[in-house]
Amino acid sequence: MAQITIENLGKVYPGGTRAVEDINIDIADGEFIVLVGPSGCGKSTLLRMVAGLESITEGTCSIGGRVVNDIEPAERDIAMVFQNYALYPHMTVRQNLAYGLKNRRTPKAEIDRRVAEAAEILQIGSFLDRKPRALSGGQRQRVAMGRAIVREPAAFLFDEPLSNLDAKLRITMRLEIKELQRRLGTTSIYVTHDQLEAMTLADRLVVLNKGRVEQIGTPLEVYRNPASAFVASFIGSPAMNLIAARAVPHLPGTGHAGLIGIRPESLIPSADGQIEMTIDAVEELGATRLVHGHVGGEALTVTMPADADLPETLRLKVDPQDIHLFQAESGARLARA
């Protein structure tokens, strides 16, 4: 177990393409960090740099106080879970689990003990002698995690491990990973593009965009106080309404054009509401419904209870506390006056 410190980390490919830039993250011992962002934001590259699968071209990464920039992946004391599991197809589950330990010349008895323990934790004991191809997707994913657990590493690295599973399994596995990480107390970095997965798993979120960190914080912090218009639109489902405003009064930076952000769930239907929205479309989600409409030329989405009436036009109000303001050009959050 260890803390991971990432300082001014950057990656420039030989062709000059910049994948990530100036990343600073301090990960405490036992913390579950989720890197989240749209595809191409550099989150996988960042994880692979920590793993040692990509070389680090700028800055340093240290695991447990030791700078690992030039250390082979196998010697970084990390274990990684891959999106497509990457199990060795010709080995049984048991051999898959034991392979890394065998390469480290762990004594046979110790290997057996750890494999049995991991099998117990993940409930994969009944198919230890099967080949991966005889397993379902969920089972393969468990084996992949087992391979990480038996190593008893300083840190787990997860690279979108649930993307290949169906929606239902993804939710159960998500819970299991969370529970498992809490039980083992191993520092973990988890990459996903799914903001819901990120919110539910993370102790702290790192939101990445275009190779840069947009915000680091607990899921609730990020949700309540998004540091930029990008974070605001990326975290939270449905996405926050962002409305262009010509001028934002009573705020530093007045005179600049701005963006007004209101979460769909903050717009409350009310007879005395000031905002009059014309309804364009309705999406039923069962418990709630999403109402899409427009006010003037601006599109708006509102979350409403499923049983509420739907008039032609909806009168809405919003608590001033729930209004977020952003600069138009940079997208940076503007502090409230």
Residues of the shown chain interacting with other proteins in the complex, contacts defined by CB under 8 A:
51-53, 72-75, 78-80, 82-90, 99-100, 103-104, 133, 147
Whole-number Å distance between alpha carbons of 197 and 205 = 11
Dihedral of CA atoms 171, 137, 142, 217 in degrees, nearest 10, equals -40
Closer Cβ to other proteins, 91 or 184, answer by number: 91
Q: Are 130 and 136 in contact (CB under 8 A)?
A: no
**Least CB distance to other proteins at residue 72 (A):** 8
The least distance separating other proteins from the CB of residue 51, rounded to whole angstroms, comes to: 7
Rg of the chain (C-alpha set): 23
Min CB(180)–other proteins separation in Å: 19
Task: Report the distance separating Cα 7 and Cα 33, nearest Å.
Answer: 16
Decide: residue 16, CB within 10 A, 0-12 exposed, 13-18 middle, 19+ buried. Answer: exposed
Whole-angstrom Cα distance, residue 165 to residue 153? Answer: 25
Closest distance to other proteins from the beta carbon of 118 (Å): 14
Position 288, amino acid: T
Structure tokens at 113: 């003990």
Nearer to other proteins, 93 or 304 (CB): 93
**Burial class of residue 105, CB neighbours in 10 A (0-12, 13-18, 19+):** exposed
The Cα 107–Cα 56 span in angstroms is 34
Distance of closest approach, residue 84 Cβ to other proteins, in angstroms: 6
Q: Helix, strand, or coil here: 288?
A: strand
* Both tokens assigned to 4: 């991971």
Rounded Cα–Cα distance for residues 205 and 214 (Å): 10
Q: Which lies closer to other proteins via its Cβ, residue 45 or residue 195?
A: 45
Q: How far is the CB of 101 from other proteins (least distance, A)?
A: 9
Distance of closest approach, residue 91 Cβ to other proteins, in angstroms: 8
Bridge partner residues of 207 (DSSP): 36, 215
Q: Which CB atom, from 43 or from 333, has the smaller least distance to other proteins?
A: 43
Identify which of residues 161 and 219 has a Cβ nearer to other proteins in the complex.
Answer: 161
In the complex with other proteins, the residue whose CB is nearer, 95 or 200, is: 95
When the beta carbons of 20 and 79 are compared against other proteins, the nearer one is 79
The CA distance from 129 to 234, in Å, is 43
- Nearer CB in complex with other proteins: 150/216: 150
Q: At which residue do the structure tokens 């084996």 appear?
A: 143
Q: How far is the CB of 332 from other proteins (least distance, A)?
A: 37
